[in-house]
Amino acid sequence: MEEQTKGKPIRCKAAVCWNPGEVLVIEEIEVAPPQGYEVRIKVICTSLCHSDITYRNRKDLPLPFPLIFGHEAVGVVESVGEGVDEVKEGDLVVPFFLPECGDCTDCKSPKSNLCTKVPFQIAGSMIRSGTTRFSALAGGRHHPSPIYQVLGVSSFSEYTVVDVANVVKIPIDLPPDMACLLSCGISTGVGGAWRAAMVEAGSTVVIFGLGTVGLAVAEGARIQGASKIIGVDLNPQKFELGQVYGLTDFINPKECGDKPVHEVVRAMTDGGADYCFECVGLASLMSDAFLSSRPELQLEGFITHEVSFQDINKAFDLMLQGECLRCIIRMDA
């Protein structure tokens, strides 16, 4: 914890998308201190998910621009708001986009991963207060202007504020570049094998590749002892279903049968993952792997590129060109 920043606004750099379809602009912004049940995080590194590209490019979606994208990240807790005891200043944490309060009926049920107490939202303000923690600087060309959050995380900023239901503590010894992948792509894919497909040791499975998520499904199946993994798609022109998560208008209701549209989207895209549980469980596998030199969860192959925060738009170009699985964006580079 840095006493000089606790309880005070922080000025920092963020990659802001001011209008749909535009490239991100590195701006100096102000990040307000966390309020009740909120956590302010200093982001170490983040990575790009195809969902970020989809939300940036969809001009017909009712999103409240300007926005700060990014939801796969790892960072250190800078300060916490009132009522937070799950994490403390100095903890290494992974934020994730599906909130989990841990108390509501849905959070306690193995059949659901959608919290009813802290609802999931694509973009907007902090879910409990209805206000944003990001703002343009006074006197700047965009002032006055609130800047809005995406998927409850907004990790394309040197500092971000998330609800305590969107963050989990992980072991301090995990390599940050690989730990940040646990936020979305890896948890989604492995969760698909563990939770949705319920792969057991000795199972024979078929994996239909869907970019990073598909490869992570295969990884989860391998860890569980699947005897065959067939059809992992390494085609650079892959289509990643994760890009449509939460956008029910992408799905034709007539194609959903007797299931609600939101259930079809969930089944298609998030693998049924309980992100808090998956992040902790996968982090444990990683920790054991690094301490005992047994690579249970092999994440190195998912990281194909690295860029500095100043070059964040290059990460978008690489993914649009089909040249990368995950590009690590280092905030201090």
Domains of the chain: 10-181+302-330 (3.90.180.10), 184-297 (no CATH)
The pLDDT-based confidence of 136 (bands split at 50, 70, 90) is very high
Residue 72 has pLDDT above 70, yes or no: yes
pLDDT for the residue 247: 35
pLDDT for the residue 252: 39
Closest CA to 165 of 130, 194, 134, 128: 128
Residue 277 has pLDDT above 90, yes or no: no
pLDDT for the residue 227: 52
The pLDDT-based confidence of 73 (bands split at 50, 70, 90) is very high
Question: In a 10 Å sphere around its CB, with 0-12 CB exposed, 13-18 middle and 19+ buried, how is residue 137 labelled?
Answer: middle
Residue 238 has pLDDT above 90, yes or no: no
Three-state DSSP class for residue 204 = strand
Least-confidence region, from 104-118, 138-152, 268-282: 268-282
Question: What ranges in the chain are assigned the alpha helix state H?
Answer: 50-57, 105-108, 176-179, 185-191, 211-223, 261-269, 275-292, 312-320
pTM of the model: 0.80
pLDDT for the residue 301: 84
The residue that leads in pLDDT, 222 or 124, is 124
- Residues above pLDDT 90, as percent of the chain: 44
**How far is the C-alpha of 31 from the C-alpha of 315, rounded, in Å?**
24
**How far is the C-alpha of 206 from the C-alpha of 61, rounded, in Å?**
35
